[in-house]
Structure 1
Amino acid sequence: MKTLLILALDGVMDSSLAITLDTLKAGQGFLARSRQPAAIRIATVGYGKSVSTGAGLKLTPDMIFNEVAALDTVPDWIIVPGLGLASDAEIEARFARRDVRAAMDLLQEAAGRKVKIAASCSAVFLLGQAGVLNGHQVTMTWWLASLFRSRFPTVKLDESKMLVRDRDCLTAGSAFAQLDLALAIVADTMGSSVAQLCSRYLLIDQRPSQVRYMIPTHRQHTDPTVVAAERWVDKHLSEPISVARLSSTLAVSPKTLGRRIEAATGVSPVKFIQRRRLMRAAHLIETTSLSIDAIAEQVGYQDGTALRKLVKREFGTTPGALR
């Protein structure tokens, strides 16, 4: 018997919870009809006997927190759906709640027992606050990445990725990356063939990167030097841009610029410039009929071949597939 527990806290994102249940139960159904069915238990877990979702719906969980310790076997996975948090104030308020503190205790105990733990979007903050991510590589929703870094500097965050697995922790990007997370858990517990069936029946596309979805004008941080760097780079994408030129324009040393960019975005200045180019290129590919060569010229690449290779490497797809 493999046991998958879904941690449902008050305010849980309805879509994230539903995606998790639908994907796991689809896998459970396919597995039950296979030649070698295995027993899979899927259960929702709440602090009390009733959970209110973010949209105000009521959920009666299959068990409460206190009953997890009484299970006959150690759970294989504990999954935390998105929490719908959008600001530092909301995160602080959520962390102060009794049910959330109890959830962190449960996660700490589970981590000590080597239970695999998964979370997506803003729920990754909960794992960070519980202390189960220290030294781990993770991803999360890209537009809260700077806030996450400021809170948890010992966690290695790469918000460009859609899904990151590091030891017993699995994290995913923004809200609908819960699909990718749930599918990965299906593969882990029910097999890759069942995961492929789920992917086909539920029309789940592979999306290895969040970079193409990032909004260039959405400021993730408040560092004035990095904000100025973003604005200047975006205005000069068609030109050669070196770190030396950028630092000179902003009147800071290359070392200072590198330190501030990495603290705010988690990447080096070179990668920072490349990411701005690719974000603009993805926007032009998706919203115009310009040729790839013309777009490459606008964003500072010598030809379309170089841009195609970078799009394939960073987005996991071809420029044509973005149109």
Structure 2
Amino acid sequence: MKTILVLVLDGVMDSSLAITLDTLRSGQAFQQNSGKGGKLRVLVAGHRKTVTTGGGMRMTTDLRFPEVVTAMAPAKAMNSASAAARTGGALRPDWIIVPGLGLVSDAAIDTRLAQKDALAAMDLLRRAPEATRIGASCSAVFLLARSGLLDGRQATMTWWLAGLFRARHPAVRLDETRMLVRDGRFLSAGSAFAQLDLALAIVAESMGESVAHLCSRYLLIDQRPSQARYMMQARAQQVDPTVIAAERWIDAHLSEAISVTALASALAVSPKTLARRIDAATGVSPVKFIQRRRLLRASHLIESTTLSIEAIAAEVGYQDGTALRKLVKRAFGVTPAALRG
């Protein structure tokens, strides 16, 4: 029997938790009705027996974190009758999922991850068997990174907290433009509703592509391979003011040829200083940073106007529509026509 374990901390985002459970349970139902595949169970674990969500709803868990840790231990160390009874013996989860935590500020992240249930969750994740895959989305990726398990690995998370994440976890190779990033046994997802993408990917791996396809159709889950086109101007409290000024200057000169030297001169900093600050805030070079601003404006115009691709290309500084089409496909995972719908 396959087991998917959902770790629920107090203050969990209601939508993130509901999306996870609804998608997994829909997959269970489709799999059962098809008569194909083995059995799968979904268990919910919390630090205490009852967990309170961010919206104030109370949920009774199947297991407490200490019971999970005991049940995951080698058989000779498993001396808890309650854990054995609740899990049916030793517990070897195929997946552990951590839904989003709803953290929105610098201080909130540090305070929340220092609390007992967060520390217990990190300990549980470190003790998970090597064969267990682990998924987290949105601000829950902070918890996974704080456990040390993502060091040296690729990950994504909600784009608007990326600057704070980089400052805390420079050992993680973050790409916040992507909706899903898989590195070994770890799967990370972007902003809050990327939990849909994460849950659907886990359904595909655990129950099969056909079941995942049914889930996506019945739950109306659209394919969104990238967060890039949703990314807005960086927030002042999270990014170096020089980077924000760079964004504004680039946006005002998109139709022109923009060099890194000219941008640095306009901001009264050296090219080296500009590169260092942009890399610290966004994880990309100044050249890629400029290209990202062009593509964000292009995607907005594609989605919100009837301008031709050639006209949009000229407005954002590209020579022709062919170049823009290729860059949009590479950056967002879809064609301009798909963006326009």
TM-score (norm 1): 0.96
AA of the residue aligned to 1:168: R
Query: Could you list the per-position Cα deviations for residues 38-78 of structure 1 after superposition, in whole angstroms to 9, with x for gaps in the alignment?
Result: 11010111111111111111100111112213242311111
2:110 is equivalent to residue 103 of structure 1? no
Q: Which residue number corresponds to residue 66 of structure 1?
A: 66
Gap regions ≥5 residues in structure 1:
none
- Structure-2 separation of matches of 1:35 and 1:54: 37
Offset of residue 131 of structure 1? 1.2
Q: What letter corresponds to residue 326 of structure 2 in structure 1?
A: K
Per-residue CA deviation, residues 242-284 of structure 1 (Å, 9 max, x unaligned), is: 1222223223332332222111101111111110011111112
Distance in 2 between the 1:149 and 1:21 partners? 30
Query: Which residue number in structure 1 is paired with residue 97 of structure 2?
Result: 79
| Percentage of identical aligned residues | 68
1:55 and 2:72 equivalent? no
Structure 2: stretches of 5+ with no match in the other structure: 72-86
- C-alpha distance in 2 between matches for 1:204 and 1:280: 26
1:168-179 alignment runs, 5 A limit: 168-179=185-196
Q: Secondary structure at the match of 2:170?
A: coil
**What is the number of residues matched between the two proteins?**
322
Please name the residue that 1:207 is paired with: 224
In structure 2, the partner of 1:229 is 246
Whole-Å Cα distance in 2 between the matches of residues 3 and 164 of structure 1?
22
Q: CA RMSD in A?
A: 1.5
Q: Is the 8 A contact 2:37 2:207 kept in 1?
A: no
Q: CA deviation at 1:217?
A: 5.6
Matched residues in 2 for 1:219 and 1:273: separation? Answer: 18
Q: Residue 76 of structure 2 aligns with which residue?
A: none
Query: Could you tell which deviates more after superposition, 225-234 or 5-14?
Result: 225-234
> 2:165, 2:182 → 1: CA distance?
18
Query: Does the aligned pair in 2 maintain the 1:216–1:280 contact within 8 Å?
Result: no
In structure 1, the residue matched to 2:20 is: 20
* One of 244, 247, 266 as aligned partner of 2:283: 266
1:146-185 residue CA offsets vs partner (Å, 9 max, x unmatched): 0000000100000000000001110000000000000111
CA contact (8 A) 1:216 1:276 kept: no
Alignment partner of 1:152 is 2:169: yes
Query: What amino acid does structure 2 have at the position aligned with 1:227?
Result: I
SS in 1 for 2:178: coil
Q: Which residue of 2 aligns with 1:136?
A: 153
Q: What's the secondary structure of 1:33's corresponding residue?
A: helix
Equivalent residue number for residue 9 of structure 1: 9
Amino acid at match of 1:12: V
Find the counterpart in structure 1 of residue 82 from structure 2: none
Deviation at 1:303, TM superposition (A): 1.7
TM-score for both structures, normalised by structure 2: 0.91
Corresponding residue for residue 122 of structure 1: 139
Change (3 A) 1:163 1:219: farther
Deviation at 1:113, TM superposition (A): 3.6
